């Protein structure tokens, strides 16, 4: 039986995020820090905290040679790996500001961030990614150095004409001198995290060392974390939820972290790593549930019935433990149902899962009930990048899956005008980089941050009921402003009206009312009969529309892609109740009117 031990580093002791690692390396130099998969050796390898500190010193020596000054911005474009952490810690320890970038973002978007933040050094995964990105950064005079982490035989010959580019193996010394230890200002800028806003361009959220330290520490006052815990890291570290809760929090508590190889290999990694803590967005849990349900549908009815019974009994057991239900005779079936059903599902997740946390987007109550009913401790939380990011989470002993939990210690919440949730927290950002107007718009008098979400608060639990602004939150946690996308698409005369959808879904889709004057010519161009209603569903037409939409969204972030479209000919008007008298689309009514068509776009899966 596992012995659980706490060894929490206080915010005051750490002072800064780099001070957190210095403290951890001193306290438990031989403790397991990270596990990652060595593709060459085809095995999982580990690093102790002492070894991590030694590696960070190597990165600091090289950064020092670049003559960077405190406050300079450096960017990281890597998949989750020990080097991400080492570069981050090395940079923070020298007073630099880290700008995390998404691995699959568009070159144009990365170029905008680079220009806006004034990035001087970039660490990038491999040569292929740099080749795709290089043309967008060719004119930059700010970027002094590009460090390519992974090299191949042709790497050394590929960049001889660009003196900025160097391979990490050549740039880093064999041994580092020493890990820097400084007494930095906790309230100084640590990172600029770019997030989509109300325009096509992202905004840079400025987070201090104290912002993320305070939220990490407040999180472990709600959910215990131990030295013996092993986190599985697969959300991108550029995602603030993973960075604060899946990276800084384990350093603070001395827990180990295993870096998953990929989402495609997640199921295999869960079995091999056997994590005790997993942080994910709803889409991950939805996929696991989808695979389970698909297997059940193909199996005998008896097996499906047994599964449903196990979930029902397990849910009753959970509700009784929470104090919301009485004992019932059917609870006597749980030991048998656990052995026949629940334990098999738990084993698919590694068999040791102590806590599973869902955040970044709303989690379906039905999906929550399935996992909790099977005995998996699933907790939903809530937050924004602007709050570093956690605002609330459900405690294990007071878990209401319909809510997004209770506020963390030190976090204040209240309901403002239009039932908007307002937050005052030690995690509230310093502001938006180079955007004082946007900062003033979101942070009001007294430091209250406007979340844009409508909510109610009951028994200290927060229940999200809607959105002030029509920001779509995909199931992977990405927030997308549909209005700006719709304006861009509507510039194409082919589209009379457009509505982007995708709330809680894995990708964006669109309902598109076509210009009735242009429709006959468009139909003939596709070899279709404009008077045949079935022409609207023809694959040739849909493919053409998707291409036009893709062109219209060229300047938007990489995740703002419309993957399905439903063409329509009937316009939305005041007369059919789909427009207001001021000619604004009634989104809710349109969603209801075309619910079947929207569902069909997700049943079919994304277009190639």
Whether cis (ω within 30° of 0) applies to the bond prior to 389 is yes
Which tokens is 285 given? Answer: 């849990």
Which neighbouring-strand residues pair with 36? 45
Provide CATH code, domain 481-603.
3.30.300.30
Angstrom distance (rounded) from CA 359 to CA 421: 17
Task: Please state the length of the chain.
Answer: 608
Strands 43-48 and 472-473, bridge-based pairing = unpaired
**pLDDT at position 154:** 63
**pLDDT at position 197:** 45
Strands 431-432 and 256-259, bridge-based pairing = unpaired
**pLDDT at position 185:** 97
Which tokens is 50 given? Answer: 């002492």
**pLDDT at position 538:** 92
The closest of 350, 353, 330, 333 to 341, measured between CA atoms, is 333
Which neighbouring-strand residues pair with 501? 509
**pLDDT at position 608:** 62
**pLDDT at position 482:** 84
Query: Rounded to whole angstroms, what are the CA distances from 63 to 70, 92, 163, 430?
Result: 11, 11, 16, 26
pLDDT tens-digit map of 35-87 = 999 988 999 999 999 999 999 999 999 999 999 999 999 999 999 999 999 99
Give SS3 for 235: coil
**pLDDT at position 401:** 94
φ and ψ of 158, to 5 deg:
-80, -20
**The CATH number fitting domain 15-184, selected from 3.40.50.300, 1.10.10.10, 3.40.50.980, 3.30.450.20:** 3.40.50.980
End-to-end Cα spacing for the chain: 49
150 and 158 Cβ atoms separated by less than 8 Å: no
**pLDDT at position 231:** 98
Angstrom distance (rounded) from CA 368 to CA 285: 9
**pLDDT at position 18:** 98
Low-confidence ranges of the chain (pLDDT < 50): 197-199, 581-582
379 and 396 Cβ atoms separated by less than 8 Å: yes
DSSP-assigned states of every residue in 165-208: EEEHHHHS-SS----------TTSEEEEEEEE-SSSSEEEEEEE
**pLDDT at position 198:** 36
**pLDDT at position 199:** 41
Domain positions in the chain are: 15-184, 481-603
pLDDT tens-digit map of 296-312 = 878 899 999 999 999 99
238-242-247-249 Cα dihedral, nearest 10 degrees: 140
């Amino acid at each position: 039986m596992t012995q659980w031990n706490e060894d929490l580093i206080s915010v005051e002791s750490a002072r800064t995020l780099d001070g957190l690692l210095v403290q951890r390396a001193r306290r438990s130099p031989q403790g397991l820090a990270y596990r990652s998969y060595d593709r060459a050796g085809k095995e999982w390898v580990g690093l102790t905290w002492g070894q991590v500190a030694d590696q960070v010193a190597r990165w600091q020596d090289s950064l020092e040679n670049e003559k960077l000054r405190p406050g300079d911005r450096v960017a990281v474009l890597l998949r989750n790996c020990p080097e991400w952490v080492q570069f981050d810690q090395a940079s923070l320890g020298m007073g630099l500001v880290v700008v995390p970038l998404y691995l699959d973002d568009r070159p144009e978007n990365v170029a905008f961030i680079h220009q806006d933040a004034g990035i001087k050094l970039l660490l990038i995964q491999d040569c292929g990614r740099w080749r795709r990105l290089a043309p967008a950064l060719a004119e930059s005079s700010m970027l002094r150095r590009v460090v390519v982490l992974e090299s191949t035989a042709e790497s050394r010959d590929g960049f001889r004409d660009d003196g900025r580019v160097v391979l990490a193996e050549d740039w880093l010394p064999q041994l580092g001198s020493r890990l820097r230890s400084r007494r930095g200002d906790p309230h100084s800028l640590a990172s600029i995290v770019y997030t989509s806003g109300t325009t096509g361009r992202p905004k840079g959220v400025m987070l201090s060392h104290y912002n993320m330290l305070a939220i990490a520490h407040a999180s472990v006052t709600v959910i215990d974390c131990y030295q013996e815990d092993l986190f599985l890291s697969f959300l991108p570290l550029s995602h603030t939820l993973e960075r604060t809760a899946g990276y800084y929090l384990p350093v603070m508590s001395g827990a180990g972290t295993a870096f998953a190889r990929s989402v495609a290999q997640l199921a295999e990694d869960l079995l091999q790593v056997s994590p005790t803590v997993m942080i994910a967005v709803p889409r991950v849990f939805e996929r696991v549930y989808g695979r389970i349900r698909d297997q059940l549908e193909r199996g005998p009815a008896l097996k499906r019935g047994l599964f449903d019974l196990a979930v029902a009994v397990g849910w009753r057991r959970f509700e009784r433990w929470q104090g919301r239900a009485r004992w019932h005779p059917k609870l006597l079936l749980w030991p048998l149902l656990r052995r026949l059903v629940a334990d098999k599902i738990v084993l698919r997740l590694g068999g040791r899962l102590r806590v599973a946390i869902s955040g970044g987007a709303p989690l379906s109550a039905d999906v929550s009930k399935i996992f909790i009913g099977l005995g998996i401790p699933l907790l939903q939380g809530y937050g924004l990048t602007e709050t570093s990011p956690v605002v609330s989470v459900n405690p294990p002993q007071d878990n209401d899956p319909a809510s997004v939990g209770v506020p963390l210690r030190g976090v204040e919440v209240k309901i403002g005008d239009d039932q908007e949730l307002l937050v005052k927290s030690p995690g509230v950002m310093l502001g938006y980089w180079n955007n004082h107007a946007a900062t003033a718009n979101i942070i009001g008098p007294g430091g209250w941050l406007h979340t844009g979400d409508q909510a109610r608060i009951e028994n200290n639990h927060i229940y999200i009921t809607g959105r002030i602004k029509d920001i779509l939150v995909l199931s992977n946690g990405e927030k997308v402003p549909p209005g700006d996308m719709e304006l861009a698409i509507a510039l194409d005369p082919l589209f009379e009206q457009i509505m982007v959808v995708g709330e809680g879904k894995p990708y964006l889709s669109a309902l598109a009312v076509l210009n009735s004057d242009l429709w006959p010519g468009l139909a003939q161009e596709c070899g279709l009969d404009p008077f045949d209603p079935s022409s609207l569903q023809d694959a040739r037409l849909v493919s053409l529309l998707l291409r036009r939409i893709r062109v219209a969204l060229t300047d938007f972030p990489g995740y703002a892609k419309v993957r399905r479209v439903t063409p329509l000919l009937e316009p939305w008007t005041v007369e059919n109740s789909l427009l207001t008298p001021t000619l604004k689309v009634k989104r809710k009514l349109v969603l209801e009117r075309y619910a079947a068509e929207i569902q069909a776009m997700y049943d079919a899966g994304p277009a190639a």
